[in-house]
Amino acid sequence: MGENRGVQQRLGRVELADGTAVAYGSVGAGRPLVYVMGWLTHLELGWELPAERALYEALAQGCRLVRYDRAGCGLSAAVERPASLAFELEQLAAVAATLDEPFDLMGTSMGAPVAVAWAAAHPDTVRRLVLYGGWVRGDDLTPPEVRDHVLGLVASHWGMGSDVLTDIFAPDADGATRAELARYQRACSTAATARALLALSYELDVGDLLGRVRAPTLVVHRTGDRAAPLAQAEALADGIDGARLAVLPGRSHIPYAGDRDELVRVVRGFLGLPVGRRRGGDLTARQSEVAELVSRGLTNREIATRLGIDERSAEGHVERIRLRLGFRSRAQIAAWVSARRELG
C-alpha cells in the first residue's frame, strides 16, 4: 500500500466452543484496544480502503488495535446459528481471551450496544469504554415501515440495498468513495447474512444494562448521523454513570467518513494516548509532487504518464493526499498547494 507498507496487520483465528471460527486482526503494539466494528466487516478489504485503513492506523499509534470479523462476515466463515446478542458476546469473548490484561473497548454502530453488554457483564476486563454512533434501543432508530422496507430491499436486491445504505451511512463521502463502500458491503457477506445482522441491530436493547457499566465511558456521536439519531447517544450517556458525551459535526455514520481526524483526536485523548495536531503539510516527497500536478489540473492518467507510474497508483496517491490533508476534493488540494506557493 505505497507509503504505508511499514504498518502491517497481523491476522489470526479463534474458535468458539461450538467450532465457530472468528478471524481477528491486530496492528500496533502496547496496551490493547479491542474494536467492535459495525454491521458488515472484512479485515482484508477494509485494510485496503485508504480511508478505513487510515482510521485504524491513527488509532493504533501507541497501542495494539484488535479488530475481528463477526461470524458470516469477511474472513470469518458462514454459520447456521442465528444472529443474537448472546452470539455476539461469545465472539467477543473468544477474541478477548487472546489478551492477558484488561483492555480499552471501543464499539462503533452495532458494536456499541454489544460493547455496552460486554462492559456490563465483565467490568474487570474493561479499562475504558468508547461508544461511537451507538444506540440504546434499536427499535427507536427508524420507523417500522422504513425498517421493513430496508430489510426487504437488502434481502431481495442486495446491490440496490447496499447503495441505499451507503447513502445513509456515508453522505459526506464523495461519489467514488460511496461506490467503493457499496461494493465493499456486498463483498463482506451474503444478502441473507446482511439482512440478519441488520435485523439484529434493530432488535438490540441494552437499556437495562447501562446502569451496570462501571468503566469510564466516552460516548461520541455526529450531530447529523442519519443512521442513529443523536438522541440515542444522549440516552447512552445519560444511562451510564459518569459518561461523557462528545458531539462532533457531520452526517456520516461510518467513523472513517467525514472528519476522521477529529474523531481520532477525541478518542485518543479520552484513552490517554498522545494526541497530535491536525495534519496540514506533512506530505511525503512523492505526495508533494503529485499535489503540485493536481494543482496544475492534470488528471490521474496524465499524472501517471508524467511520473512513469500506472493510473491506479496515481489515483491512490491523490486519495492519500486528500485523506492526509482532510480534504474532500481535488479542488481543495489545488487551493492548498496554491496557498503554500504564495506563502513560500
Residues 252-285 pLDDT 10s: 899 988 778 889 999 999 999 988 654 445 678 8
Assign domain 2-271 to its CATH architecture. Answer: 3-Layer(aba) Sandwich (3.40)
Q: How sure is the predictor about 342, in pLDDT bands with cuts at 50, 70 and 90? A: low
130: nearest Cα among 59, 68, 217:
217
Residue holding cell 491486530?
Answer: 26
pLDDT digits (tens, 9 = 90+) for 136-192: 999 999 999 999 999 999 999 988 888 888 888 888 777 777 778 888 888 999 999
pLDDT digits (tens, 9 = 90+) for 203-225: 999 999 999 999 999 999 999 99
Q: How sure is the predictor about 4, in pLDDT bands with cuts at 50, 70 and 90? A: very low
d(CA 118, CA 129): 10
Predicted local distance difference test score (pLDDT) of residue 6: 47
335 three-state secondary structure = helix
pLDDT digits (tens, 9 = 90+) for 33-59: 999 999 899 999 999 888 889 899 999
pLDDT(305) > 60: yes
Nine-digit cell at 25?
A: 486482526
Element (H, E) at 288: helix 285-295
Residue holding cell 493504533?
Answer: 60
Predicted local distance difference test score (pLDDT) of residue 281: 52
In CATH, the number for domain 285-343 is: 1.10.10.10
- DSSP, res 205: B
pTM for this prediction: 0.79
Compute the mean pLDDT over every residue in the chain, rounded to the nearest whole number.
Answer: 89
pLDDT(85) > 80: yes
Report the percentage of the chain scoring pLDDT > 90.
Answer: 66
Q: How sure is the predictor about 293, in pLDDT bands with cuts at 50, 70 and 90? A: very high
Predicted local distance difference test score (pLDDT) of residue 167: 83
Question: Where does CATH 3.40.50.1820 sit in the chain?
Answer: 2-271
Mind giving me the DSSP string for 65-132? EEEEPPTTSTTSPP-SSPP-HHHHHHHHHHHHTT-SS-EEEEEETTHHHHHHHHHHH-GGGEEEEEEE
Predicted local distance difference test score (pLDDT) of residue 341: 67
Q: How sure is the predictor about 250, in pLDDT bands with cuts at 50, 70 and 90? A: confident
